[in-house]
Amino acid sequence: MENREVAIRVQGLQKRYKLYQHNRDRIFDALGLSRKPRYTEYMALNGVDLTIYRGETVGIIGTNGSGKSTILKIITGVLTPSAGEVEVNGRISALLELGAGFNLEYNGIENIYLNGTMNGFSQEEIDARLDGILEFADIGEYVYQPVRTYSSGMFMRLAFAVAINIDPEILIVDEALSVGDVFFQAKCYRKFEEFKKQGRTVLFVSHDLSSISKYCDRVVLLNQGEKLGEGDPKRMIDLYKQVLVGQSARQADPEHDVTEEGKNPETLEYGSGKAVITKFGIIDDKGLENPTILKGSECTVYMDVEFREDVEAPIFAMSVKNIYGVEITGTNTMAEKAWLEPAAKDTKLRIRFRQRISLQGGEYLISLGVTGFEKEDFTVYHRLYDVMNLTVVSDKNTVGYYDMDSDVTVEKA
């Protein structure tokens, strides 16, 4: 990969903010009237290294406050780093905060020309792109109204239409798609696919993990201003889910570790250990342990759980991903109202999820978990990500993830 052309490179990136308790402290500091600091330092980014190659689609994920938006703003020149180096090779088009770069008093047409001019285009070049922008935005006569009158959805449509139609070599998007309607979001993601085929570079932040998994070649995980990981989308998403519950991978416990023959050796396993999944499997409609299921038939996913401490309100969960890491479906005993009781120490339970399989034929990964709430804090007792595979055999695959089992008739009108 090192021989590929670099689109973006940041090295040792830091962004430091001074936090003041009172405005007077800020004034004293600015005028140099204080002998000791009247502020505390907050590191929004701390020594982040990142290289993005031309033609890649890279996602950045992390909890709120992890530094995702900060790094995008530094790359685009909106913010100046406190330390480190930034290298950008190619024309950037950025869609950061909603309406950034728009004059609220101007109408849509005027803002298109304003943005185009800011990106270095002549009036003739903007003229040539205008029809494409208006067609993509599809906001009708509102384009002649001041943008302050726009809904967030219309604002988003126009901003994204401008961003992608100025021939960017690098497109940077920060969560902006979340305000558009589902049809416009689909339109934007089709544009991402088109950009990828054209060899352009896309860098985007999103909390939509399915989109991150589907569109990204690589994912960067930030946490509290530092790069926690970088690599395969599926692996980074699993690591991110660990971060969300504030836990790291659980060390294998010789006494209680799961040793199922069908266990995925790449399983991500962690938890507090108050409850432990000791056994799991898939039983087909003939009552046999079998991970290969015929589409349209029933099967049961089960897990055995042993409680090593009292747990007030355990929740048992099962979810299904495809091999690309996209979450397809899932449920738990709280949602199904199947178990709402405490579990005492040394209790052993078998949890069964009985399913009729309507998934399209293919390979899937099943995750299992025992979680709960302790004084309103979400707690993971034991979680096994991608612990076993499910193979669905089908002689009829339709569009998408699920078969709608449609009853189709054709007759003369």
Domains defined along the chain, listed by start: 6-90+169-241 (3.40.50.300), 104-160 (no CATH), 250-393 (2.70.50.60)
The residue assigned the tokens 């078969």 is 403
Residue 126 has pLDDT above 60, yes or no: yes
Long-range contacts of 232-238 (CB under 8 A, 24+ apart): 233/59, 233/324, 233/325, 234/321, 234/324, 234/325, 236/61, 237/61, 237/209, 237/212, 237/213, 237/325, 238/268, 238/385, 238/386
Confidence tier at 176 by pLDDT (50, 70, 90)? low
How much is the mean pLDDT over the chain?
A: 86
Distances in Å between the alpha carbon of 20 and those of 42, 45, 47, 127, 375?
11, 19, 23, 48, 33
Between residues 393 and 83, which one has the greater pLDDT? 83
Supply the pLDDT for residue 100: 65
**Local confidence band at 246 (pLDDT 50, 70, 90 cut-offs):** low
Asked if residues 358 and 365 have their Cβ atoms less than 8 Å apart, the reply is: no
Angle between helices 123-137 and 108-118 (to 10 degrees): 130
Q: Looking at residue 405, what is its pLDDT?
A: 85
pLDDT of 54: 93
pTM of the predicted protein model: 0.71
Q: What's the N-to-C CA distance of the chain in angstroms? A: 59
Q: How far apart are CA 407 and CA 413, in angstroms?
A: 18
Phi–psi pair at 167, nearest 5 degrees: 55, 55
CA distance 273 to 334: 20
pLDDT confidence tier of residue 308, bands split at 50, 70 and 90: very high
Q: What is the pLDDT of residue 9?
A: 96
103, HSE (Cβ side, Cα atoms, 13 Å): 11
Kindly state the percentage of the chain with pLDDT values over 90: 46
Return d(Cα 340, Cα 312) in angstroms, integer.
Answer: 9
CA atoms within 13 A on the CB side of 91: 12
- Asked if residue 212 lies in contact with residue 219, where contact means CB atoms within 8 angstroms, the answer is yes
- Percent of the chain exceeding pLDDT 70 equals 91
Which pLDDT value is given to residue 398?
82
> Can you name the residues that pair with 77 across neighbouring β-strands?
none
The yes-or-no verdict on residue 282 having pLDDT over 90 is yes
pLDDT tens by residue, 87-96 = 999 988 887 7
Please check the confidence at residue 196 and state whether its pLDDT lies above 70. yes
- In whole angstroms, give the CA distance from residue 334 to residue 370: 11
The confidence score (pLDDT) of residue 253 equals 42
Confidence of residue 215 (pLDDT cuts 50, 70, 90): confident
Q: How far is it, in rounded angstroms, from Cα 62 to Cα 58?
A: 14
What is the 3 state secondary structure string of the chain?
Answer: CCCCCEEEEEEEEEEEEEEECCHHHHHHHHCCCCCCCCEEEEEEEEEEEEEEECCCEEEEECCCCCCHHHHHHHHCCCCCCCEEEEEECCCEEEECCCCCCCCCCCEHHHHHHHHHHHCCCCHHHHHHHHHHHHHHHCCHHHHHCEHHHCCHHHHHHHHHHHHHCCCCCEEEEECHHHHCCHHHHHHHHHHHHHHHHCCCEEEEECCCHHHHHHHCCEEEEEECCEEEEEECHHHHHHHHHHHHCCCCCCCCCCCCCCCCCCCCCCCEEECCCCEEEEEEEEECCCCCECCEEECCCEEEEEEEEEECCCECCCEEEEEEEECCCCEEEEEECCCCCCCCCCECCCCEEEEEEEEECCECCEEEEEEEEEEEEECCEEEEEEEEEEEEEEEEECCCCCCCCECCCCCCCCCCC
